[in-house]
Amino acid sequence: MHNFSLRHAALALLLAAVVAGCSKEAPPPASKAATIKTPEVLSVKIGSASPLTGPQAHIGIDIRNGVQLAIEDANAANIEIGGRKAKFEMVAEDDEANPTKATTVAQKLVDARVAAVVGHFNSGASIPASKIYSDAGIPQISPSSTNPKYTQQGFKTTFRVVAHDDQQGPTLARFAAATLKITSVAIIDDSTAYGQGLADAFENTVKTMGIEVLAREHTTDKDTDFKAILTKIKGKKPDLIMFGGIDPQAAPMMRQLKELGIKAKFIGGDGMQTPNFIKLAGNAADGAMASIPGLPKDQMPGGRSFLEKYKAKFNQEVELFAPMGYDAVMVIIEAMKRAGSADPEKFLPEVGKTNYQGVIGPIAFDDKGDLQNGPITIYVVKGGKWVPLETVKPSDAGGAAAKK
Amino acid sequence: MRNFLSMLQARNHWRWIAWGGLALLLLAAPFLIEALLGRAWVRIADVALLFIMLALGLNIVVGFAGLLDLGYIAFFAVGAYSYALLASPQFDLHWPFMVVLPLSAAVAAVFGILLGAPTLRLRGDYLAIVTLGFGEIIRVFLNNLNRPVNITNGPQGITLIDPLQVGGFSLAQTHTFAGLTIAPVHSYFFVFLVCAVLSILISLRLENSRIGRAWAAIRDDELAAASTGINTRNLKLLAFAMGATFGGVAGGLFSSFQGFVSPESFHLLDSIMVLCMVVLGGMGNVAGVVLGAVLLTMLPEALRYIGPLQQKLFDEVLVDPSDLRMLLFGLALVLMMLFRPEGLWPSRRRRAVEKSHAAG
Amino acid sequence: MEIFAQQLVNGLVLGSIYALVALGYTMVYGILGLINFAHGDITMIGALVALTVAQLLAAAGLPVPAVLILAGGAAIMVCVCLGVFIERVAYRPLRRAPRLAPLITAIGVSILLQYSAALIWGKQYLSMPELVTPTRINIAGVQLTGLQVAIFLLACAIMAGLLWFIKSSRMGRAMRATEQNPDIAGLMGVNINTVITFTFILGSAIAAVAGLMVVLYYGIGHYFMGFMLGLKAFTAAVLGGIGNVAGAVLGGLLLGVIESLASGYIGDITGGVLGSNYRDVFAFLVLILVLVLRPSGLMGQHSGDRA
């Protein structure tokens, strides 16, 4: 009996050793190129962390593609850092949108000696990972996490290139009041940190303007059937329906809205201002409105060409956050250029001083690492295309930061 | 597992030396792992230890008492949120972990009984769907209890949760001890190791106790067990409560380790994963369950090297590495079950049952 | 009242889709006692195959009915082959194994199907071409589309056909015999393997039809769509009494209506304390309540101890 059990124990140990062994041989030797002075070419690794599997993979892959495109562009531009030619390399990891995996991935990127990280997608992944990057002194720029707490933890390394909820929500509210002249609204969110944050910010501002909130409904980021909540909203007859969420929900919602014969207008945030929304909603898309931070794409130097380049390379439309991923890399590289070094310790202070014209518009950070108020443009779908309707400049949106 | 106990009792010097060696190896493990594989793997080892606790807890319910539970992660969630609410700026409470951790366990146990009570009459797969629903209900509540009164902070989650600390000594800081740098991942490794070893010992003792034998009787034939005078109701509730306690403790530790909790960590898929660990390792056998937990935590991480490996072998990435990784994982589940349907390391009792089945 | 009627209609249509998927769960469970976790993903494969074929053919300019029939046919063919293959490779060797072993292979197969689909179709949401412009029907203020009516009728027709088949045909009798006791049925000359294979063929074909309905109705497809759908359908099957065909349809329709009414009315009933975000909680509470009162589901006969 004893022998039997021991043999099994030995077998288990052996198995564990094999698993460990397999994994050991694969990782490339930790490159210390960033610190060694001898080679002519300075090799710089930039991490990309986002969900590449699971239900949100399409958005995570979009971010990674944005990062990859930026790195290829940077390599093609023969950038010099501190007098040496730099060669950039992407290290992409899959965090599965899972907070536990996110910390493992973060540690992996730190172990791989990346100079900076673009990620993560979910706030739930960005926040626990941020402690690990902060301990290692590596700057982290999230392209998409909108949870205000992300930058409020007192870390010097956390940045984001996405407007947080208190910037877009109030702008949408003012647009609804001033331009659409509505008196009542129904609000739906997708029960995620992003969707609910945006909807809450919108609701708070709308209430101060004397607009009546007739219904506040919730769905999830996995649902496709919204008939029940839309029917309820139909009974309340609002002028406008505002949705905090992203296109896989917004598009069928728009379809079902028309099927139920609801006359109210439909508006949302940057999560649905995507080509995919129009593709998925089909003929029903016309008339939908959505805001997105930045000037209209064709008014921006990099905007249009970015969309074309993306489509040519990946043979698909930009999903959502690829421009943010792209800009995050560029912000990092610009900071390295200014500091004349790819050593995080040296260029980290420069990231905070960013003043860069990106694909998404002007990028500058406040003292916490949040994106400073920039212009926000509101689009409408006309003839199967997003057409700019109105641009709200930061000076008009000054009150936004004061609230909450 | 009787041999394990007799091993302890036997005055065999070699055994003592072997156990001592194992203890030393485990003490040195985080530093060895870091030197060989990098710090990320120390973190993976930490997570594996947490999952050992979870899998052992579920093993009490599924393996010992034979109650199929598909919502086990709910107890992990309850424990994690109990800790988070009582030791974070959310309510500005910062109770010491010596109080919060047992409390998390107790709250989880209460939830275990809450789940168990209405489901006593249910069997097999009906129980599975109710437990699954229970898990989803807990998650939905955690996700939505931010209105009308903000309790859980909704999908935004709770940040800045206190780490484990005694006096001024916090596990979240890096300490230097006798020339050894002890980062948070190392300190937590030892805490989790102690808890995991305790869980293993408790599981082993339970299995051979009166309670454990009563559970086995209920698992094999509830009617017969009841007719021999076993109080099936209380014992089933006890199984749920005990299993939930393990989950609650693991949840509290997880909270302090991550410093952040949000409903995203407690999906149905996580419940299923813990169940896979139990079944794949060998239901009912403590050693097998531990093996299952370690294997299923490490396997997906080890498969991450597929991408670089592909690059090296073929000079280009042929198949999306993240997809390939999941495909291999799915394939591994199928193959392991096809070749070892009773689990990788089944309990002797179960093996005996299988043999008699095969013969008859 | 109008609103209430509309909510009922919404629920019935959603429920019809749940019911179609639930049929597959319930048939396999009845015969094998196995929760076929991969069934939702078979539906997903059916949906994506139908979507792809429809995209190709619609671009080629074929008339709509032809496109629909060909898309449905292709989906059924792929799903049936897949279902039979999965049964042969992943479940049949485990028929005598401990009860939870095939559950794990089912989860493994589910992951395999998802990521195979991810490799083939990518991970973006895909759009279904609008084959039929929705014809809006207005009955006493209740908005319907032709498609909704079709989905409901189809679910009822498939259920009726299936009930008739199981009751009256030779194969159906063999299925019932196998369900009651596979060993005895085998002794009586029923070829168990044929019966099980046939069950998978039938279940997968219905799943393919359900997949086609889903992409037609919602207009989008995604490699992960099978997960939630499967979960809801499984819930529906248990609610109705798993193993029972009529129960699966009843459970599906009921679950759809409960969800719809819960989303529509929880907020007003609780004075805004709980909202539509508690829809699933409500649905599961009803399930638990039903099971506490009737431990074998609404229409399930009390079977012996399967565990």
Give the nearest chain B residue to C271 (CA atoms).
Answer: B148
Tell me, yes or no, if C286 comes closer than 8 A to chain B by beta carbon: no
Please, which pLDDT band fits residue C306 given cuts at 50, 70 and 90?
very low
d(CA A321, CA A118): 11
Closest CA to A54 of B310, C225, C277: C225
| A309 Cβ contact list (under 8 Å, min separation 6) | A69
Chain C residues with CB-CB distance to A260 below 8 A: 6, 143
Token reading at C159: 């259920």
Asked if the Cβ–Cβ distance from B124 to C108 is below 8 Å, we say no
Position C305 pLDDT exceeds 80: no
Give the range among A133-142, A271-280, B204-213, C130-139 with minimum mean pLDDT: C130-139
Position A403 pLDDT exceeds 50: no
Judge contact between B83 and C267, C-beta under 8 A: no
d(CA A238, CA C168): 54
Token reading at B97: 């972990």
Position A92 pLDDT exceeds 60: yes
Please, which pLDDT band fits residue C104 given cuts at 50, 70 and 90?
confident
Q: What digits encode the pLDDT tens for the residues C116-134?
A: 999 999 988 999 888 877 7
Distance from CA of C224 to the nearest CA of A (A): 6
Q: How high is the pLDDT of residue B196?
A: 96
Asked if the Cβ–Cβ distance from B323 to A53 is below 8 Å, we say yes
Q: How high is the pLDDT of residue A394?
A: 65
Distance from CA of B4 to the nearest CA of A (A): 8
Average pLDDT (B196-221) is 93
Average pLDDT (A265-270) is 93
| A43 Cβ contact list (under 8 Å, min separation 6) | A31, A33, A34, A86, A87, A89
The residue type of B20 is G
Strand order in the sheet with A376-382: A212-218, A184-189, A240-244, A265-268, A289-293, A376-382, A385-392
**Cα angle value A261/A262/A266 (rounded, 5°):** 135
Judge contact between B70 and B268, C-beta under 8 A: yes
Q: What digits encode the pLDDT tens for the residues A296-332?
A: 766 766 777 888 899 999 988 888 889 999 999 999 9
Distance from CA of A156 to the nearest CA of B (A): 15
Position C180 pLDDT exceeds 70: yes
CB-nearest partner of A24 from B36, B254, B326: B36
Closest CA to C255 of C206, C218, C209, C297: C297
CB-nearest partner of C220 from A224, A231, A261: A224
DSSP-derived letter for residue B315 is S
Does the predicted TM-score (pTM) go above 0.95? no
Average pLDDT (B309-333) is 83
Position A29 pLDDT exceeds 70: no
- Class of residue B359 by CB neighbours under 10 A (exposed 0-12, middle 13-18, buried 19+): exposed
Q: How high is the pLDDT of residue C2?
A: 84
More confident residue, B122 or C198: C198
Chain A residues with CB-CB distance to B154 below 8 A: 191, 193, 196
CB-nearest partner of B334 from C109, C114, C284: C109
Position B111 pLDDT exceeds 60: yes
Residue A279's H or E segment, with its range, is helix A275-281
Ranges of H-type helices in chain B: 2-9, 13-37, 39-58, 73-86, 97-116, 124-144, 184-207, 210-220, 222-227, 232-258, 268-282, 286-302, 306-314, 321-339, 348-359
Tell me, yes or no, if C127 comes closer than 8 A to chain A by beta carbon: yes
Residue B55's alpha-carbon distances to A236, B103, B126, B200, B230, in angstroms, are: 49, 21, 22, 10, 26
C142 φ, ψ to 5°? -90, 125
Position B169 pLDDT exceeds 80: yes
Largest Cα separation within chain A, whole Å, is 83
Mean pLDDT over the full length of chain A? 85
Residue A276's alpha-carbon distances to A58, A190, C253, in angstroms, are: 11, 18, 32
Instruction: Go through C3-42 and write b for each residue having 16 or more CB atoms within 10 A of its CB, e for each that does not.
Output: beebbbbbbbbbbbbbbbbbbbbbbbbbbbbbbbbbbbbb
- Class of residue B311 by CB neighbours under 10 A (exposed 0-12, middle 13-18, buried 19+): middle
Distance from CA of B68 to the nearest CA of A (A): 25
Chain A residues within 8 angstroms (CB to CB) of chain C? 53-55, 57-58, 61, 191, 215-220, 222-225, 227-229, 231-232, 234-235, 247-248, 251-252, 255, 258-261, 276, 279-283, 316, 319
CB-nearest partner of B265 from A8, A98, A152: A98
d(CA A313, CA A336): 26
User: Around Cβ B238, how many Cβ atoms within 10 Å?
Assistant: 20
Judge contact between A313 and A291, C-beta under 8 A: no
Tell me, yes or no, if B160 comes closer than 8 A to chain A by beta carbon: yes
Please provide the distance, in angstroms rounded to a whole number, between the alpha carbons at the two ends of chain B.
Answer: 27
Q: How high is the pLDDT of residue A27?
A: 42
Average pLDDT (C261-266) is 90
Chain B residues with CB-CB distance to C94 below 8 A: 337-338, 341
Average pLDDT (A172-187) is 93
More confident residue, A177 or C302: A177
The residue type of A305 is S
% of chain C beyond a pLDDT of 70:
98
Distance from CA of A120 to the nearest CA of C (A): 18
Chains touching C (at least 3 CB pairs under 8 A) are: A, B
Average pLDDT (B223-232) is 92
**Residue B158 forms beta bridges with which residues?**
B261
Distance from CA of A60 to the nearest CA of C (A): 10
Give the nearest chain A residue to C17 (CA atoms).
Answer: A225
Chains touching B (at least 3 CB pairs under 8 A) are: A, C
- Class of residue B221 by CB neighbours under 10 A (exposed 0-12, middle 13-18, buried 19+): middle
Q: How high is the pLDDT of residue A397?
A: 46
Position C307 pLDDT exceeds 60: no
Asked if the Cβ–Cβ distance from A9 to B287 is below 8 Å, we say yes
Distance from CA of B261 to the nearest CA of C (A): 20
Asked if the Cβ–Cβ distance from A225 to C133 is below 8 Å, we say no
What is the DSSP secondary-structure string of A295-354?
Answer: S-GGGSTTHHHHHHHHHHHHSS---SSHHHHHHHHHHHHHHHHHHT---HHHHHHHHHT-
| B178 Cβ contact list (under 8 Å, min separation 6) | none
CB-nearest partner of C234 from B129, B221, B280: B129
Position B120 pLDDT exceeds 80: yes
DSSP-derived letter for residue A359 is T
Most confident of A29-38, A82-91, C98-107: A82-91
Q: What digits encode the pLDDT tens for the residues B236-253?
A: 999 999 999 999 999 999
Tell me, yes or no, if A208 comes closer than 8 A to chain B by beta carbon: no
Asked if the Cβ–Cβ distance from C98 to B223 is below 8 Å, we say no
Please, which pLDDT band fits residue A22 given cuts at 50, 70 and 90?
very low
Identify the three-state secondary structure at position A215.
strand
d(CA A328, CA A333): 9
Residues in C 56-75 with any Cβ partner in A closer than 8 A:
none
